[in-house]
Amino acid sequence: AQKVTQAQTEISVVEKEDVTLDCVYETRDTTYYLFWYKQPPSGELVFLIRRNSFDEQNEISGRYSWNFQKSTSSFNFTITASQVVDSAVYFCALSEVRTGNQFYFGTGTSLTVIP
Amino acid sequence: ETGVTQTPRHLVMGMTNKKSLKCEQHLGHNAMYWYKQSAKKPLELMFVYSLEERVENNSVPSRFSPECPNSSHLFLHLHTLQPEDSALYLCASSQEGFSGGANEQFFGPGTRLTVL
């Protein structure tokens, strides 16, 4: 079974709209880490955020915000007032303490922001 | 120097060729990784070198052979590849501690490999 599910394969929004990218994970560990990465057309994955399982506080960084809910095993990512430069593939990933170096990535969500 | 560099950026090879991918990290990290990224699939972890130990995904074919001569350099040696091995190969590094848990990985730009 896939440990990280990103059900949205592709999303298109018009510039300045808000968009939420969904991430659902599966783990039996009590201690784990969740990540979001951005992959622009250049190919390099860019780290956005790391969150541990004990910190459910939502986080905001500029136009980006993350909603972590353990009750639903979700770690969703919202971009407010989207811009063309936000067009990329976004990956959610899970790492469990017992396999500290192993990242489980989702299949990614391709976001296109239309000017 | 950018954090993680990879060469070459593009590689086309025949099935009988032998080639190597190179990765170098300038971040002082102690762990390095090889990933394979194919279309519509999750990133697949191929190999990990962490604190000088190698961990590998047992499903990776033996035609892929990693080498990590030191904590800053990582190679992926390729021989007798198949067309289905065509993909983007990404290198990453991170700073790992002894207490478990994962720190963020920093990725290179990847090598786009095409096997004819």
C-beta atoms of B42 and A52 within 8 A: no
Residue-wise pLDDT for B71-90, tens only, equals 899 999 999 999 999 999 99
**Closest chain A residue to B95 measured between Cα atoms?**
A101
Question: What one-letter code names the amino acid at B34?
Answer: W
- pLDDT greater at residue A37 or residue A103: A37
Residue B38 has pLDDT above 70, yes or no: yes
Q: Which helix (H) or strand (E) holds B113?
A: strand B111-115
Across the A:B interface, residue pairs with CB atoms under 8 Å apart total 62
Distances (CA, A) of A103 to A11, A17, A34, A84, B48: 24, 31, 9, 29, 11
B95 touching chain A per CB within 8 A: no
Residue found under tokens 């190919």: A43
CB of A104 within 8 A of CB of A41? no
Check if B67 contacts A (Cβ < 8 Å). no
Among B21, B43, B51, B107, the residue to mutate for chain A (most A Cβ within 10 A): B43
Nearest chain A residue to B48 by CA distance is A101
CB of A45 within 8 Å of a chain B CB? The answer is yes
Residues from chain A that touch B110, judged by Cβ atoms under 8 A, are 43-44
Q: B101–A4: do the CB atoms touch at under 8 Å?
A: no
pLDDT at B101: 59
Report the pLDDT value the prediction gives residue A46, as an integer from 0 to 100.
93
pLDDT of residue B100: 55
pLDDT at A7 over 70: yes
Q: Which amino acid does the sequence have at B92? A: A
Query: pLDDT band for position B57 (50/70/90)?
Result: confident
Averaged pLDDT for residues B37-66: 84
CA distance A110 to chain B (A): 10
pLDDT of res. B52: 62
pLDDT tens digits along A66-102: 999 999 999 999 999 999 999 999 999 999 877 766 7
